[in-house]
Structure 1
Amino acid sequence: MSALPPAFLDWFSARGWDIHPHQRTMLERSDASALLLIAPTGGGKTLAGFLPTLIDLASDTHTGLHTIYISPLKALAADIRRNLTTPVAEMGLPVRIEDRTGDTSQSVKRRQRADPPHILLTTPESLALLTSYEDAPRIFKGLKRVVVDEIHALAESKRGDQLMLALARLQTLCPDMRRVGLSATVEDPPAIARLLARHPDPCEVLLADPGPDPDIAMLQTDAPPPWAGGGAAHAIPAVMDQIERHNTTLIFHNTRAQAEIFFRNLWLANDGNLPIGIHHGSLDRAQRQRVEAAMQRGELRAIVCTGSLDLGIDWGDVDLVIQIGAPKNVKRLVQRIGRANHRYNAPSKALLVPANRFEVIECHAALQAVTEHALDGEPRGAGPLDVLCQQILITACAGSFAADALYAEVITAGPYAALTRADFEACLDFCATGGYALRAYDQWQRLIQRPCGLWQLRDPRSARLIRMNLGTIQDSDLLKVRLRRTRGGKPLGEIEEAFAATLTPGDTFLIGGHVVRYEGLREMTVEVTRDKGHKPKIATFSGTKFATSTQLSQRILDMFAQDDWPALPDHTREWLRLQQQVSRLPERGSLLIESFPHEGREYACIYGFAGRNAQQTLGLLLTNRMEALDLAPLGFVSTDYATLIWGLEPLTDPGPLFDPADLRAGLDVWLMGNAVMKRTFRASATIAGLINRNTPQARKSGRQATFSSDILYDTLARYDPDHLLLRITRNEAMRGLVDFGRIEEMIARINGRIDLLRLPRVTPLAAPLFLEVGRTPVEGAGVERLMEEETRRLMRAAGLDSSQVS
């Protein structure tokens, strides 16, 4: 297929369009088993993915499902349906297009199973659910293509692993199925191609013309950014000025809480009463949809948002993107920049707003990376085994299976190409019995093997429970927020259960840009009323808290190695020069540690540049080692670049603290008794099917799920320490919240070179860490010494001697 049929040529001509070269190449290579198209935002890559399907359906009498489109966002699937419906209707094509997500009604879902549309737009979770039904072979009969949009986003999470296992299942049902991946931001095309293809089959990579470079710069503000914090309140007047100058502005934030704070401050400064909205994943779906619809109609001048709008929804007349706070990741920044001027060969316009002084440096490093087209990303690990356990249960829901055949199918999925048979058998045994310590309990004996060798569900009725708990997204601790009304008020969104537990009636907090007053908890719903007269607390919302990527950290260290920094503003250049005068700047090939006294305490500042999670872990491990060496640490605080530790004794020899073997041993001991492991265990156990959050009767609360998972964790840790779920949990913790890999990378980078500088006072680079929130106390010998000293002081004040007090 290479030429456009007359109807398609006429449709393109009527719009004054010419088919792009990459769209024509997609047509020419439509018979390839797997294709990955990398094209800039606004380059028509979605149409390129669908053109072969539309042409095929226009000239064929195909019945049933022809193409499945998979999106990471429900809103994106709905947006694509609207955009596809236009050419289909205008060309009079006999094509039925529908979407199927968690928002689709049960009646529509039942009809879609009985009578699938030609093109189904869905998400990884909904696709996995469809493959779990006994009639899956009939549902997918005749399937020819699968289009995975924004594949880079799926590749970074367990949702991508789940999707690739579902594609392996589809390929078994439909051997001739073609795979297409679409993205604008891929740092390692061969790696994504291997992920998409049926292993060991190849995947072709098509690179479109990248178009013009974006118009991106730092926003100039009258006031310099503060030394610490993430609210960027200093930039409100300048941002408001930009909103007034542009048609529509997207204002991105890295966290939902920061978006809420900024939206409130922006609204208070909105003297012209311009229409401004807010959008993030914790807001009520109806509110998000209202904002999306208003944006598409061009009714909003600005929208404050988070990653909920990162991906390729067509927002119409957006002509400016503002990133508040350092982007932390170049690839994410490029994706967000592409939301502006969503047209082929039109440069996107974006402004960066550092929220504090150090972020000025990080923003400039990100600007350099964008200019050099240097995307970042961490290497993918092997496919996680908790997702594989879920896939085994999904397969069993659809009917009996042979272990050999399922293993052969699973290793065709890119993330699981290197899966050993031993690990597969361990997952199968877990699904069948729960493992050694749990096999005596009926509730975890879910599979049995028939005399013929096939595996099946022990109780077919358990399929319903498995399907109810399918998925890899963990939102375990969220409570609905509603305005109090006699018969149930308007839903506003969700907050974390832990935050709700801190509220007492009368407390106020921000949600959806509104200040609301907490009235009480009723049937697991937070009831509130509007309250404009009080300063609100800041609600905590579930969502990713980004760590600065390895590439950006290295770029900052390279900037420090320069003699001068002409691109930086004067206040930041002077700050770095002062640091050079009283100490030195960190270097790539060594680890700088500053030791100094301050207000009766001894401080050590470790500039590891390993990302926030790894620096936090480093603080925990180092203070444990310092405790063992009688250095009496009292606490620490971490940022993406440094860890500041304070205590009663000065650090004089850092060498023993950074022995790799001792650090790993300390990590192993710390992890087994730490809440991080229990939190990670709960997530993995839920994905693997050991814990069911949803039941036919009700959904367990976060506290109920935590109680159940903690008991299971303690039982396994005591009686079955080699249990599969504990092995999975340790691996997940090491690369997730703990991020020990970044610590190992730092140790390898410095290669034993540690520069300890003993200084008389706080240094310019360390000063902002004194203003950071999130300090972690160390309860140990240092606290005991302080209590003993306070006791002696009080006794002396009372005229007593320690020997006189029992």
Structure 2
Amino acid sequence: MTALPPAFSDWFARNGWDPHPHQLALLAAQEDTLLIAPTGGGKTLAGFLPSLVDLHQTGRKGLHTLYVSPLKALTADVARNLARPIEGIGLAVRVGDRTGDTPAGVRQRQRADPPEILLTTPESLALMLSWPEAPKLFAGLRRVVLDELHALAESKRGDQLMLGLARLRGLAPGLIATGLSATVEDPQALARFMGAARVIEADPGPTPDIALLPTRTPPPWAGGGGRYAVQDVLDAVAEARTTIIFLNTRAQAELFFQALWLANDRGLPIGLHHGALARESRQRVEAAMAAGALRAVVATGSLDLGIDWGDVDLVIQVGAPRNIKRLVQRIGRANHRYNAPSRARIVAANRFEVIECVAALEAARAGELDGEPRGPGPLDVLIQHILLTACAAPFEADALYAEVRTAGPYAGLSRADFDACLDFAATGGYALRAYDRWQRLMLHDGRWQLRDPRAARNLRMNIGTIVEAEKLKVRRRGRGGAALGEVEESFAATLAPGDTFLLGGQVLRYDRIRDLVMEVTPQPGREPKIAVFSGLKFATSTELSARMLAIIADPARHRELPGDIRAWLDLQARVSALPRPGTLVCETFPRNDRWHLVIYGFAGRNAHQTLGLLVTRQMEAAGLAPLGFLATDHALLITSLNPVEDVAPLLRRPALEQGLENWFADTSLMKRSFRAVATIAGLIQRNVPGHRQSGRQATFSSDIIHDTLRRHDPDHILLRATRDEARHGFVDFERIDDMLARNPHVELHRLDRVSPLAAPLLLEMGRVRLGGTGQEMLAERMARELMASAGLDDLTHDDH
């Protein structure tokens, strides 16, 4: 194992530290490496240590190390942390950042005179690689550090980054890539994602102290806000130094933050942090936390990743975490130190969530994580990469294909798919090649190049794989009103002047929209409408659902649960049956002149939503008159006028598959998915010099192109990519497949009343109402009853 140079070992000794074994192992590594180390284990320093030692020993100038993180906020945090060893050891090393927040003047200077260490994001790296001077800029690059790699690998940003890494390897032969991660369910799979890296796993550190938070009252039967436990959370905050309170969505965070303030008689300083807030607001909260000025911050996924606040000694998760890996990641935010156990408490939002929380705690204590298998690299991201490669310089197709295949997600890419992507990038494909606007590349002397070099500007302005809902800036009304954040255009469309909503913990009155800015006036003391920010909507993972089902199915394990939950499950076992692995337990019962069918699928909300649409289509065709359905992470509840006598035929895979195809053809879902794919692939450009298309304009354009391709080129590469995206991302059909494969037996219990497990479902919000014969029959029945009660039933005859 390589020893530290004296200047470095002296610095460690002056700070009272010993280098960790995994830090020395990474220093000695001479190949691509994935380091798995717990939060607080010094993995960021481990990633930079080889670079700092090399720069110290060689005195090299110019770009030596590129650091890539998923968050701009992390680059600022890392810059602060790097300053400590650089100043303490006395290194002549410059550190700079290159993100969307970097001033234009600084970015311009970096192109001519880059720092030795450059901190950036996947999008900014893609932009830099599109510059003509990219070969010169990156020729001397020796190391690439990929932070929080597990988070990047879960989205198309990771695929984009791996294509960028493959390009860097071509420009700087011999460079070494280091991936850093704290929570990985399958280290070898993540190492393959990097392109065959060696895995180094650090000592996991002390076992975390995690448990359910004791509450004065038991959780409600339904709902997801957790506000019944506000006083208990405040008590826990008062006993800790600094607390992060995590919720799963922005709306829940806003509402919980407001509830905390209303109950905060002790005047504890508490902040709010989520992605819809103005950058200045987020930075103020981050600075206050770093300075120790806040006792707690209410947050969403915006703080999941490693901003280093050493004084945080408690994490509270409000609502079931939905995902074991996310829970472990959030637990790691408490006691950001290697030798101190993290302390976390969970607040279940309702009775079902108590079981889910117990299952998540059990998995976290056992160190078992969850995660979806990674599919092949998406083709829309590859198309964007091809176009950006052409922005830098002409390229040979054979050479680019070989380079792309060195990227982990694209190792299995066929030449036929590559050629289809290249053909689309060049001409738009068969159906679009007649239009000049999509004739973007041409072949000259065996190399592909931009047909019009001026197109490079447009392509660079549309870099990225994040296709967000159109958003409106929110500002106080009046000249120079302060920026407060942003909300989705779809949410703004539901508001009328005078309506109030929550943002940043403030009640705001909507006044008007002017120049794509929503102008508002603060309304302290008013009761708000609930702000529905889209944010992230998590589905319970397959692994967590399986653990939850195993607990429910085994009465011997019910002793792990609170007494009221044990009694609830015991009653369910006596009245009906407990859901169990291997059997899909279903129930049907009458209530209020309606019939209800419950399917305990434990497949996640998205999959149950899709299953509800597909099953009710079959019920409509069978004359069962479905009225609507409700999907939760654990079950599907369908309401109809006529009873289901046999549920098994409704769940046969061929019928569901055909229903999915028909649904795709009948709904706007495919167009919605196509719009995202087409935007990433550069077919739809949201940003052009001096102008930005509105969401409505982009939708109109993409819908026309989608319909054109369906008619004239149904096998178009973008339509293929869209189908893959829709099946996996929007409808989660793979989870329905998995649910049916795991449960070969279907068991229907015919009851005369609602069962204990089904009762909470009838209290849940979010029911999907269906049109069709069921609603028509219901309207006729209500009309007859109304006429009869008014004594008017005789007046329905024609002779009157």
Task: Sort the TM-score into its range (normalised by shorter chain).
Answer: over 0.9
Q: Indicate the residue corresponding to 2:521 in structure 1.
A: 529
Q: Which amino acid aligns with 1:537?
A: K
Tell whether 2:483 aligns with 1:491: yes
Residues 494, 541 of structure 1: 8 Å contact kept: no
Q: Which amino acid aligns with 1:769?
A: L
Q: Aligned to 1:106, which of 104, 107, 112? A: 104
Q: Indicate the residue corresponding to 2:277 in structure 1.
A: 283
Q: Indicate the residue corresponding to 1:219 in structure 2.
A: 213
1:126 to 1:787, Cα distance in 2 relative to 1, 3 A: same
Q: Which amino acid aligns with 1:258?
A: Q
The alpha carbon displacement at 1:799 in A equals: 4.4
The alpha carbon displacement at 1:70 in A equals: 0.6
The alpha carbon displacement at 1:793 in A equals: 4.9
Map 1:474-513 onto structure 2 (within 5 A): 474-485=467-478, 487-513=479-505
Q: Indicate the residue corresponding to 1:92 in structure 2.
A: 90
Q: Kindly provide the CA deviation profile for residues 246-305 of structure 1, in whole angstroms up to 9, marking residues without a partner as x.
A: 110000011111000000000111111111000011110011001001100000000000
Q: Kindly provide the CA deviation profile for residues 314-360 of structure 1, in whole angstroms up to 9, marking residues without a partner as x.
A: 01200000001000110110010001011112100000000111100
The alpha carbon displacement at 1:745 in A equals: 0.2
Q: CA separation in 1, counterparts of 2:585 and 2:554?
A: 17
Q: CA separation in 2, counterparts of 1:773 and 1:695?
A: 41
SS in 2 for 1:438: coil
Q: Indicate the residue corresponding to 1:73 in structure 2.
A: 71
Aligned length: 797
SS in 1 for 2:536: coil
Map 1:545-560 onto structure 2 (within 5 A): 545-560=537-552
Tell whether 2:381 aligns with 1:387: yes
The alpha carbon displacement at 1:698 in A equals: 2.1
The alpha carbon displacement at 1:792 in A equals: 4.7
The alpha carbon displacement at 1:717 in A equals: 2.4
Q: Which amino acid aligns with 1:19?
A: P
Q: Kindly provide the CA deviation profile for residues 54-90 of structure 1, in whole angstroms up to 9, marking residues without a partner as x.
A: 0000111312110001101100111001100111012
The alpha carbon displacement at 1:778 in A equals: 1.3
Q: Indicate the residue corresponding to 1:698 in structure 2.
A: 691
Q: Which amino acid aligns with 2:230?
A: I
SS in 2 for 1:566: helix
Q: CA separation in 1, counterparts of 2:2 and 2:119?
A: 25
TM-score (norm 1): 0.97
Q: Kindly provide the CA deviation profile for residues 600-634 of structure 1, in whole angstroms up to 9, marking residues without a partner as x.
A: 10110011110110000000000011111111101
Q: Aligned to 1:321, which of 297, 309, 315? A: 315
Q: Indicate the residue corresponding to 1:428 in structure 2.
A: 422
Q: Indicate the residue corresponding to 1:16 in structure 2.
A: 16
Residues 792, 802 of structure 1: 8 Å contact kept: no
Q: Indicate the residue corresponding to 2:46 in structure 1.
A: 48
Residues 430, 713 of structure 2: 8 Å contact kept: yes
Q: Indicate the residue corresponding to 1:614 in structure 2.
A: 607
Q: Aligned to 1:770, which of 762, 779, 782? A: 762
Q: CA separation in 2, counterparts of 1:208 and 1:136?
A: 35
Q: Which amino acid aligns with 1:664?
A: E
Tell whether 2:1 aligns with 1:7: no
Tell whether 2:537 aligns with 1:539: no
Residues 784, 793 of structure 2: 8 Å contact kept: no
Residues 584, 746 of structure 2: 8 Å contact kept: yes
The alpha carbon displacement at 1:371 in A equals: 1.1
Q: Which amino acid aligns with 2:402?
A: A
The alpha carbon displacement at 1:794 in A equals: 6.0
Residues 475, 481 of structure 2: 8 Å contact kept: yes
Q: Which amino acid aligns with 1:85?
A: A
Q: Aligned to 1:748, which of 741, 748, 763? A: 741
The alpha carbon displacement at 1:173 in A equals: 0.5
Q: Indicate the residue corresponding to 2:230 in structure 1.
A: 236
SS in 2 for 1:319: strand
Q: Indicate the residue corresponding to 2:798 in structure 1.
A: 804
The alpha carbon displacement at 1:542 in A equals: 3.3
Residues 310, 337 of structure 2: 8 Å contact kept: no
The alpha carbon displacement at 1:682 in A equals: 1.1
Q: Aligned to 1:789, which of 776, 781, 784? A: 781
Q: CA separation in 2, counterparts of 1:686 and 1:648?
A: 43
Map 1:349-364 onto structure 2 (within 5 A): 349-364=343-358
SS in 2 for 1:437: coil
SS in 1 for 2:312: coil
Q: CA separation in 2, counterparts of 1:533 and 1:256?
A: 21
Residues 182, 329 of structure 2: 8 Å contact kept: yes
Q: CA separation in 2, counterparts of 1:610 and 1:455?
A: 46
Q: CA separation in 2, counterparts of 1:674 and 1:300?
A: 48
Tell whether 2:264 aligns with 1:266: no
Q: Kindly provide the CA deviation profile for residues 714-769 of structure 1, in whole angstroms up to 9, marking residues without a partner as x.
A: 22223322222111111011111200000000010112x10001001111111111
Map 1:242-253 onto structure 2 (within 5 A): 242-253=236-247
Q: Kindly provide the CA deviation profile for residues 455-504 of structure 1, in whole angstroms up to 9, marking residues without a partner as x.
A: 1111111111111110011223211101112x221111110101101111
Residues 65, 117 of structure 2: 8 Å contact kept: yes
SS in 2 for 1:605: strand
SS in 2 for 1:540: coil
Q: Which amino acid aligns with 1:345?
A: N
Q: Indicate the residue corresponding to 2:248 in structure 1.
A: 254
Q: Indicate the residue corresponding to 1:721 in structure 2.
A: 714
Q: Which amino acid aligns with 2:274?
A: H
Q: Which amino acid aligns with 1:778?
A: L
1:795 to 1:367, Cα distance in 2 relative to 1, 3 A: closer
SS in 2 for 1:179: strand
Map 1:154-193 onto structure 2 (within 5 A): 154-193=152-191
Residues 250, 320 of structure 1: 8 Å contact kept: yes
- Which sits farther off after the overlay, 106-115 or 564-573? 564-573
Residues 97, 117 of structure 1: 8 Å contact kept: yes
Q: CA separation in 2, counterparts of 1:519 and 1:563?
A: 56
SS in 1 for 2:687: coil
Residues 400, 454 of structure 1: 8 Å contact kept: yes
Q: Indicate the residue corresponding to 1:374 in structure 2.
A: 368
Residues 69, 120 of structure 1: 8 Å contact kept: yes
Q: Which amino acid aligns with 2:740?
A: I
Q: Indicate the residue corresponding to 2:34 in structure 1.
A: 36
- Which sits farther off after the overlay, 79-88 or 562-571? 562-571
Aligned-residue identity in percent:
63
Q: Which amino acid aligns with 1:642?
A: A
Structure 2 unaligned runs (5+)?
A: none
Q: Which amino acid aligns with 1:643?
A: L
Residues 325, 355 of structure 1: 8 Å contact kept: yes
Tell whether 2:343 aligns with 1:345: no
SS in 2 for 1:619: helix
Q: Which amino acid aligns with 1:711?
A: I
Q: Which amino acid aligns with 1:496?
A: E
The alpha carbon displacement at 1:575 in A equals: 1.1
Q: CA separation in 2, counterparts of 1:637 and 1:219?
A: 29
Q: Aligned to 2:121, which of 116, 120, 123? A: 123
The alpha carbon displacement at 1:121 in A equals: 0.6
Q: CA separation in 2, counterparts of 1:691 and 1:55?
A: 46
Tell whether 2:749 aligns with 1:757: yes
Structure 1 unaligned runs (5+)?
A: none
Q: Which amino acid aligns with 1:566?
A: R
- Which sits farther off after the overlay, 795-804 or 341-350? 795-804
SS in 1 for 2:577: coil
Q: Indicate the residue corresponding to 1:195 in structure 2.
A: 193
The alpha carbon displacement at 1:800 in A equals: 4.4
Residues 64, 141 of structure 1: 8 Å contact kept: no
The alpha carbon displacement at 1:533 in A equals: 2.9
Q: CA separation in 2, counterparts of 1:618 and 1:174?
A: 49
SS in 2 for 1:355: coil
Q: CA separation in 2, counterparts of 1:745 and 1:787?
A: 38
Residues 475, 542 of structure 1: 8 Å contact kept: no
The alpha carbon displacement at 1:802 in A equals: 6.2
Residues 511, 539 of structure 1: 8 Å contact kept: yes
Q: CA separation in 1, counterparts of 2:468 and 2:395?
A: 31
Q: CA separation in 2, counterparts of 1:228 and 1:470?
A: 42
1:805 to 1:369, Cα distance in 2 relative to 1, 3 A: farther
Q: CA separation in 2, counterparts of 1:544 and 1:396?
A: 34
Residues 282, 542 of structure 1: 8 Å contact kept: no
Q: Aligned to 1:636, which of 615, 623, 629? A: 629
